[in-house]
Amino acid sequence: MPESIPENSVGLVKPQTAHFAQPLALDCGRTLAAYDLIYETYGKLNADSSNALLICHALSGDHHAAGYHSMLDRKPGWWENYIGPGKPIDTNQFFVVSLNNLGGCKGSTGPTSLDPKTGKAYGPDFPIITVRDWVESQVLLGERLGIKQWAAVIGGSLGGMQSLQWSIQYPDKLRHCVVIAAASKLSAQNIAFNEVARQAMLRDPEFHEGRYYEHNTVPKRGLMLARMLGHITYLSDDAMRAKFGRELREGKLNFGFDAAEFQVESYLRYQGESFVDRFDANTYLLMTKALDYFDPASDYEDDLAKALAPAKAQFLVCSFTSDWRFAPARSREIVHALQQNRLAVSYAEIEAHQGHDAFLIKIPHYIAAFSAYMQRIAKEINA
């Protein structure tokens, strides 16, 4: 827990909930009759609502992007390094909205929510959600908050895919689009990683076909394995070597299978076990499917330039050299497609050894590039 709130933090924040009674038609052919979206805001909305930014979260993220919920919090929000007074997303200049997407497990309607038809948790009966569905719900949240056009929609990883979809689906509702450590579609290798993670949960004896809530249990082993696998893909070989090497926990080999002998084994087990306490398996399944399904060019004979033709926003695209899950080549594909449409795009390829997780970490070149672009947006607002 923090001894005191840092001056450059947004401080103590309180989540808010927006209830939507109107039906939401989904890509899968089903309809949500009503739903809730939980969100947080940082900074103040200006008189003409022109300084609003939307933050879209990644697979295991949520609405709590910055600040603290109480003085008992061990950690701040997931993007504390980049949201706050004087930070790249400067809350002295911008009104920032961060939400938990539909299908989430942190307050928005999802598998853990009660299905009004049955009075029980949706569980596996919750519909498959796509990135397009998320954008539709985010548009409605913006309208509820009185925001007709976002100064920018910003996201990293799966959040960057949402930003990109915004530029296609609602081109007049955002002026800038920030796509960080993302891709226009997953590679076969990425889909394979997601499938292994899903199978780890689906085959857990405690999964009970997704109805584990009714059995008062959790598929801990499967969810833990899924997180361990995912975490390996978020880090680079260099990052793991620098952090752990082949260091032994007790300085010697135990010649067994149960104990975590290497520091990296202990780290992965800790990450998996802590994830079980804060995330839902059915939500993890939904999020990975949303990742797999995202492919805006699929309706345009795999031509990304045609898919991005409706876009009108100005773009910042960032990638990281050691990110092998969403490699810089995938970001350059987006940049090239935008250039084919004669759209304004800035591209920053950041030298970083941390892997995919680099978009969450303080890296000087990244901070400088991100800050410069956001200051440009701030100047437009204040012009």
Whether 108 is catalytic: no
Collect all residues with Cβ–Cβ distance below 8 Å to 72 and sequence separation of at least 6.
Answer: 1
Whether 302 is catalytic: no
Identify whether the C-beta of residue 300 lies closer than 8 Å to the C-beta of residue 307. Answer: yes
For residue 182, give the 3-state DSSP assignment.
coil
Q: Which of 241, 268, 289 is the last residue of a domain?
A: 289
| Statement: residue 129 has pLDDT above 60 | yes
Backbone φ and ψ for 286, nearest 5 degrees, come out as -60, -45
Domain identity same for 205 and 244: yes
Range of the domain at 120: 16-186+295-382
Q: Which of 61-65, 126-130, 257-261, 302-306 has the lowest mean pLDDT?
A: 257-261
pLDDT tens string 291-309: 999 999 999 999 999 999 9
Q: Which of 263, 289, 315 is the last residue of a domain?
A: 289
Domain identity same for 118 and 211: no
Domain membership of residue 2 (yes or no) is no
CATH number at residue 282: 1.10.1740.110
* CA quadruple 359, 365, 367, 368: dihedral sign: negative
Domain identity same for 41 and 174: yes
| Statement: residue 241 has pLDDT above 70 | yes
Average pLDDT, the chain: 95
Domain membership of residue 7 (yes or no) is no
Q: Which pTM was predicted? A: 0.96
CA dihedral 56, 61, 64, 66 (to 10 degrees): -80
Domain membership of residue 284 (yes or no) is yes
For residue 253, the model assigns a pLDDT of 78
Whether 299 is catalytic: no
Domain membership of residue 261 (yes or no) is yes
Domain identity same for 39 and 74: yes
Domain identity same for 274 and 299: no
Identify whether the C-beta of residue 247 lies closer than 8 Å to the C-beta of residue 263. Answer: yes
If you ran DSSP here, which 8-state letter would residue 6 be given?
A: -
Catalytically annotated residue among 157, 163, 184, 331 = 157
Domain identity same for 181 and 194: no
Domain membership of residue 181 (yes or no) is yes
| Statement: residue 1 has pLDDT above 60 | no
pLDDT tens string 69-104: 998 888 999 999 999 999 999 999 999 999 999 999
Domain membership of residue 6 (yes or no) is no
357 annotated as belonging to a binding site for a ligand: yes
pLDDT band with cut points at 50, 70 and 90 for residue 247 = confident
Catalytically annotated residue among 90, 204, 280, 323 = 323
Could you tell me whether strands 95-99 and 35-42 are parallel, antiparallel, or unpaired per DSSP bridges?
antiparallel
Domain membership of residue 156 (yes or no) is yes
Domain membership of residue 40 (yes or no) is yes
pLDDT band with cut points at 50, 70 and 90 for residue 5 = confident
For residue 193, the model assigns a pLDDT of 96
Domain identity same for 274 and 336: no
Cβ contacts of 256-265, under 8 Å, gap ≥ 24: 264/240
For residue 2, the model assigns a pLDDT of 66
342 annotated as belonging to a binding site for a ligand: no
Q: Which of 241-250, 264-273, 319-328 has the lowest mean pLDDT?
A: 241-250
Domain identity same for 76 and 152: yes
Domain identity same for 64 and 86: yes
Q: Which of 270, 289, 308 is the last residue of a domain?
A: 289
CATH number at residue 86: 3.40.50.1820
Identify whether the C-beta of residue 83 lies closer than 8 Å to the C-beta of residue 54. Answer: no
Domain count, the chain: 2
Domain identity same for 86 and 180: yes
Nearest-CA neighbor of 101 among 148, 139, 138?
A: 138
* CA quadruple 22, 25, 26, 29: dihedral sign: positive
Identify whether the C-beta of residue 15 lies closer than 8 Å to the C-beta of residue 40. Answer: yes
| Statement: residue 29 has pLDDT above 60 | yes
Q: Which of 10-19, 23-32, 265-274, 292-301 has the lowest mean pLDDT?
A: 265-274
